[in-house]
Amino acid sequence: MNIQQNQLQDPPHNSSHYGKIEYWEKRYQTNTKPFDWYQNYDGVKDIITQYINKSTRILNVGCGSSLLSEEMYFEGYKNITNVDYSNNLIKHLVERYSEGFENTFKFEHCDVRNMKGKFANNSFDCVIDKGTLDSVLCGEYSRQNSFKMLSEISRVLTQDGVYMVVTYGEEKKRQQLLENNSCGMLKKYIKFTSLMFNQFQKIYSTIKILIIIITFIYARKETKYQPLEESQEICLKMFDNILKLNQVNIQLLCS
């Protein structure tokens, strides 16, 4: 299903709003129509099926109003937990999916930077992230918050679990970010696949997104945030500059 652009609200003037809960609560207070950022399920289906099977325990972080989980459910992926930072949205989704779905298809109000009160270690075989890391990186304290998010994703994944990231970031910069900001928790491997923005392809033919497939190392030690080393600071400052350069493109895609 392709969702039309007019189903989105006007974008914020500054992309940093994407990292603020106030923006998302206000957005979903008035607009809960389905919208898929970057790609819908058809656009990533072939990649998803390579790495997860129908019995996989899936965590969809920053689920938003996307139809991704619903479409996966009807394809046989019954064990999906969807979390989002917006309480307004989660209340709406709980009501929307209250009938006709098994109790393994869940919605939880949750902060991906701290999921300890929600999920135990090794709870999921796959984490799907479609734009959530991008959103975290748009906000204040992006370095600390992206570290916390990656730490939590590593914690809730099983030893052979897969973290699947859909992002607009450049491949080299994203790899640096993931390697340097995970404090040794990455990586068994990182694989990149480049796709077009499917519903905007005719207009934004030069803009691509990445599908990043990641597994974490086997060590499962809880890690607290510590100041990043100088090399990591340099890397993440470079990435912040990339975000600023791409800010116009982000706003155009949401208009």
CATH number where 45 lies: 3.40.50.150
- As for how many domains the chain has, the answer is 1
Q: Is residue 4 part of a domain?
A: no
Q: Is residue 152 part of a domain?
A: yes
**For 2-9, what is the mean pLDDT?**
32
Q: Is residue 158 part of a domain?
A: yes
DSSP string computed for the chain: -PPPGGGSPPPPSSGGGGG-HHHHHHHHHH------SS--HHHHHHHHHHH--TT--EEEET-TT-SHHHHHHHTT---EEEEES-HHHHHHHHHHTSSSS-TTEEEEE-BTTB-TTT--TT-EEEEEEESHHHHHHHSTTHHHHHHHHHHHHHHHEEEEEEEEEEE-S-HHHHHHHHHHTTTT-EEEEEEEEEEE-GGGTTT-TT-EEEEEEEEE-S--------PPPHHHHHHHHHHHHHHHHTHHHHHHHH-
Residue 48 has pLDDT above 80, yes or no: yes
Q: What is the pLDDT of residue 161?
A: 85
Task: Read off the pLDDT band of 193 (50, 70, 90).
Answer: low
Q: Is residue 2 part of a domain?
A: no
Q: Is residue 128 part of a domain?
A: yes
Q: Is 137 or 176 the better-scoring residue by pLDDT? A: 137
Q: Is residue 250 part of a domain?
A: yes
Task: Give the other-Cβ count within 10 Å of 219's Cβ.
Answer: 10
Comparing 123-127, 170-174, 196-200, the range with the smallest average pLDDT is 196-200
Q: What is the pLDDT of residue 173?
A: 74
Q: Which domain holds residue 174?
A: 16-254
Determine contact, residues 18/139, Cβ cutoff 8 Å.
Answer: yes
Q: Is residue 190 part of a domain?
A: yes
